[in-house]
Amino acid sequence: MTTSRRALAFGMMVLMVCWPFVTGDYLTGLMTQILIFGLLALSADLLLGHAGLFSLCHASFFSVAAYTAAILQVRYQMPTELAALSGIFSGTLLGLIFGLAVRTRGVYFILVTLAMGYVVWGVGYRWASFTGGDSGVTGVAALNLFGFSFVSPKSYYFVVLIVVSLVILVYAHLTKSPFGLALRGIKSSEPRMRSIGFHPAFHLYIAFVISSFMASIAGVLYVFFNKFVNPVSASLHVSVDSVLMAIVGGSASLLGPFIGSAIVLWLRNWVSTYIELHLAVMGLVFIAVVLWAPGGVMGWVKKLTSKPSGEAS
What is the DSSP secondary-structure string of 29-79? HHHHHHHHHHHHHHHHHHHHHHH----S-HHHHHHHHHHHHHHHHHTS---
32 contacts 224 by C-beta, under 8 angstroms: no
Burial degree of 221 (CB within 10 A; 0-12, 13-18, 19+): buried
pLDDT at 214: 98
pLDDT at 294: 77
What are 216-263's pLDDT values in tens digits? 999 999 999 999 999 999 999 999 999 999 999 999 899 899 999 999
In a domain, 280, yes or no: no
In a domain, 100, yes or no: yes
In a domain, 151, yes or no: yes
In a domain, 284, yes or no: no
Q: What is the pLDDT along the chain (313 residues), one digit of tens a residue?
A: 567 667 777 888 899 999 999 999 999 999 999 999 999 999 999 999 999 999 999 999 999 999 999 999 999 999 999 999 999 999 999 999 999 999 999 999 999 999 999 999 999 999 999 999 999 999 999 998 888 889 999 999 999 999 999 999 999 999 999 999 999 999 999 999 999 999 999 999 999 999 999 999 999 999 999 999 999 999 999 999 999 999 999 998 998 999 999 999 988 888 777 777 767 777 787 888 778 777 888 887 777 766 554 444 3
pLDDT at 182: 96
In a domain, 57, yes or no: yes
What residue numbers bound the domain in which 97 lies? 27-234
**H or E stretch covering 224:** helix 200-226
In a domain, 230, yes or no: yes
In a domain, 77, yes or no: yes
Neighbours of 20 (CB within 10 A): 22
**How many domains does one find in the chain?**
1
Phi, psi (rounded to 5 degrees) for 227: 70, 10
Residues 166, 150: Cα–Cα separation, whole Å: 19
In a domain, 283, yes or no: no
Residues 193, 166: Cα–Cα separation, whole Å: 31
Residues 86, 209: Cα–Cα separation, whole Å: 16
pLDDT at 74: 95
pLDDT at 278: 67
Residues 311, 23: Cα–Cα separation, whole Å: 43
pLDDT at 269: 83
Instruction: Give the distance from CA 55 to its chain's centroid.
Output: 12
pLDDT at 12: 84
